Amino acid sequence: MEPEVAKETEVETKPEIKPKMHFTGKVLKTGLAGALVDIGLEKPAMIHISQIVAPNDEPIKRVEDVLQPGQEIDVWVRRVKDDRVELTMVKPLDLEWRDIKKGMTVKGKVVRLEKFGAFVEIGAERPGLVHISEMAYGYVRQPSDVVKEGDEIEAQVIDFNRRKRQIKLSMKALLPEPVVEEEPPAREFVEMPKREKPQRKKKAKSARSRGGESGSDVEELLAALGQSSAEAEEETAMAIAWREAMERAKARKQEEKMRRNKGISQEQEEILSRTLDNKVQTT
């Protein structure tokens, strides 16, 4: 009974074989289609000739050209089917296209620098690109100011295209955003009420100014001096003298006009008298 218990314990502790698991195996036998490799399981694992890699990466014509019985090789589990383990000497990708998601964080090594950014090996089919604008917040003059070839970095996947085999990464996406000092609130603009233009009061014409030209002249003089009608009522001695002078001038004009009118009437009477005389004499 004890051996059975020991056998069950051994079965329970057997590691679960999954794809991409790494083993160091020993070649047991070679053939035309491949080889049998011991990786520590009850049954030997199989490796097909298409999964054998030559040291110089040249095409393989015969398995014996690369593998020999008793040789130790590094292999990875390619597939497990019906308790049969298939191996490969081609190191599988750590990150398959189906495993890549936007927003996921990856680790990798900088393998090449360009003017526009850095290429990072993240275990995918193609290296990812960290554009210079995604390296840090603020201005970056050139990628070498931030990273060097061989640096191990962390980045976030911001986009990928399997058809074009492109993976875009961002380093600054994992950095804390810089604190921006808040600007003081702008002063509120209060619109001042518009001042109404003072309306000029119409100057009231005095009784004397309504009587003739002298009054209008006085009003124009007062307006030029910037006086209001209220100030006009408080006339100064100069204003009174000016008005009297204008009235005397007006009187002289009227007198001259009357004289001229009178002279014209006398002349008309003389012409009429001479005309009548001439008619009498002719008759």
**Residue 134: pLDDT over 70:** yes
**What is the structure's pLDDT at 124?**
93
In a domain, 123, yes or no: yes
**Residue 120: pLDDT over 90:** yes
For residue 25, what is the domain's CATH number?
Answer: 2.40.50.140
In a domain, 4, yes or no: no
- The CA distances from residue 244 to 218, 229, 257, in Å, are 10, 19, 20
**What is the structure's pLDDT at 30?**
92
Report the chain's mean pLDDT, rounded to a whole number: 79
Integer Cα distance of 277 and 279 in angstroms: 5
In a domain, 169, yes or no: yes
Secondary structure class of 178 (helix, strand, coil): coil
pLDDT tens-place string over residues 30-78: 999 999 999 998 899 999 999 998 888 788 889 998 999 999 999 999 9
pLDDT tens-place string over residues 189-234: 556 666 666 666 555 554 444 444 455 555 665 565 555 555 545 5
Tell me what the mean pLDDT of segment 249-277 comes to. 71
**Residue 163: pLDDT over 90:** yes
Integer Cα distance of 185 and 180 in angstroms: 15
Instruction: Give the β-pairing of 117-121 and 105-114.
Output: antiparallel
In a domain, 201, yes or no: no
Of 174, 201, 220, the one marking the end of a domain is 174
In a domain, 12, yes or no: no
More confident site: 242 or 100? 100
More confident site: 232 or 266? 266
What is the reported pTM?
0.49
Integer Cα distance of 117 and 207 in angstroms: 97
Of 157, 174, 191, the one marking the end of a domain is 174
**Residue 7: pLDDT over 70:** no
Integer Cα distance of 87 and 47 in angstroms: 5
Range of the domain at 42: 19-88
Q: Which two tokens stand for residue 94?
A: 């750590």
| Residue 105 binned pLDDT confidence (cut-offs 50, 70, 90) | very high
**What is the structure's pLDDT at 281?**
59
**Residue 274: pLDDT over 60:** yes
Per cent of the chain over pLDDT 90 is 42
Of 154, 174, 194, the one marking the end of a domain is 174
In a domain, 193, yes or no: no
| Axis-axis angle for helices 213-224, 237-282 (nearest 10) | 150
**What is the per-residue DSSP string for 104-162?**
-EEEEEEEEEETTEEEEE-SSSS-EEEEGGGSSSS--S-GGGT--TT-EEEEEEEEEET
Residue type, 19: P
Q: Which of 13-17, 41-45, 209-213, 247-251 has the highest mean pLDDT?
A: 41-45
Residue type, 183: E
| Residue 93 binned pLDDT confidence (cut-offs 50, 70, 90) | confident
In a domain, 35, yes or no: yes
In a domain, 181, yes or no: no
* Strand extents, DSSP E, the chain: 22-30, 34-38, 45-48, 72-81, 84-88, 105-114, 117-121, 128-131, 152-161, 166-170
**What is the structure's pLDDT at 185?**
67
**What is the structure's pLDDT at 200?**
63
DSSP tally for the chain: helices H, then strands E: 4, 10
**What is the structure's pLDDT at 246?**
85
Q: What is the total count of domains within the chain?
A: 3
Instruction: Specify whether 65 is located in the same domain as 103.
Output: no
